[in-house]
Amino acid sequence: MSQPKSELAYVEGLRELDDALAELPQALRRPVVLSALRRAAKPMIRDARLRAPRGTDPRRRGSRKQRRAGKSVAIGPGADSIKARAMRARSQYEATVAIGPDKKHWYMSFSEFGTSRQPPQRFLTAAFETHKVKAIETFGDALWQSISRKAARLARKAAAGKLGKRAERALRG
């Protein structure tokens, strides 16, 4: 009998990826990793937007204060506000993106988690569960591409003598 396949993805070349990332200056690593994380999150975002509930009555969007002021119509559907946003890192060796609606669409959490009167309608969780394995593979590929693009760009700028101040500081220190 064969062993059951694990649900988690196995990514080859992580040690080499870490070594390549270490070759970049410290100040330039986080943007490279964040760009790869955002690219890996795109399928989840598309799926979550498709699964998210969309109300048709603009008068019922936003808070009571926003509805009284007439700003609820301008808020728009919460499904369109689902994006990947960079989060504050706890350490210099960490990068995080959060997928979800923006602050104006705080009420979308009621649909996701449910209330005492409404059952949960999982759109973010379902999108995550569907795409988590593929996101890991995409992240590895996207990180390789981001590192190679950044290294090539730095090499071109250094050869032309047109490095920016931030890149010069990063390469020196």
Average pLDDT rounded to a whole number, residues 61-67: 68
Q: Is 70 exceeded by the pLDDT of residue 57?
A: no
- Note the pTM of the prediction, 2 decimals: 0.74
| DSSP three-state, residue 173 | coil
Q: For residue 17, give both structure tokens.
A: 């990826």
Query: Pseudo-torsion of CA 145, 129, 47, 109, nearest 10°?
Result: -120
Least confident of 7-21, 80-94, 120-134: 7-21
63 Rama sector, left if φ>0, alpha if ψ -120 to 50, beta otherwise: beta
**Which residue pairs, CB below 8 angstroms and at least 24 apart, start in 156-162?**
none
Between 17 and 9, the higher pLDDT residue: 17
For the chain, the structural domain boundaries read 14-172
pLDDT tens sequence across 90-144: 887 788 899 999 888 888 898 899 999 989 989 999 999 999 999 988 998 999 9
Q: For residue 168, give both structure tokens.
A: 């010069």
